[in-house]
Structure 1
Amino acid sequence: MSRLGLPQEPVRNSLLDDAKARLRKYDIGGKYSHLPYNKYSVLLPLVAKEGKLHLLFTVRSEKLRRAPGEVCFPGGKRDPTDMDDAATALREAQEEVGLRPHQVEVVCCLVPCLIDVRVSS
């Protein structure tokens, strides 16, 4: 119960249910999983807190070779043991921020983007 005596869960569930319904409109499932590129996945952790929705970001270590110090979502390269893109994102989120897969509801898979990371001089 809140200080006003109102139950907090229905508000939280309403926010999350609305967000999930909106996100599911963009779910592409495994439509692009056949593409022959290196696979990387990120998790966009959506958290309900104090009646508002928030995204959880991380900051990359300054010691990393690629994109040091950048703000990003938890994620990384697919391992051969990962079943799919969601499994990659969940494994990486657990490694990077301690978020356990059983604590997460994967709502949808969004359209992948192709990024050319080659550096030219």
Structure 2
Amino acid sequence: MRTWTSATEIARLLLMRRVIWPLPREHELWRYRVLGAIIPDLDHVVAEQLQNLPTPAKPILPLDMRPALLAGVAIVERAGPEMLRMLRGHMMGDNRARFSDAAENMIAQAGTLRASRQMQLI
């Protein structure tokens, strides 16, 4: 079934690092991903298991973490482009710029897909 964007692209965005407030100790910043903004308990689970979450470049998760990523992708896909704009607020610095660029490309493509669907109905 075709949706407004690629599930793979959503997954890559959800695996980007994010900033939380208050800032944790410096050596703990690697733990926090955008996915944790959607599934709040994920940050605590990762901290307890002391697992390194994958990066967008290498998005291979341990088996026990995959359902969380799939749920996050489904939530964003269902909520639509507006959720990507909301998640941008969890980013900072270079990651915010990369996230914004990728999200805006996805949103722009979603707009063209929706327009073409409307034309097909006429």
Tell me if both proteins adopt one fold, taking TM over 0.5 as the criterion.
no
Q: State the TM bucket, normalised to the shorter chain.
A: under 0.3
Higher relative contact order (CA 8 A, sep 6+): 2
Provide the TM-score with structure 2 as the length reference.
Answer: 0.26
Provide the TM-score with structure 1 as the length reference.
Answer: 0.27
- When Rg is computed on C-alpha atoms for both structures, the one with the higher figure is 1
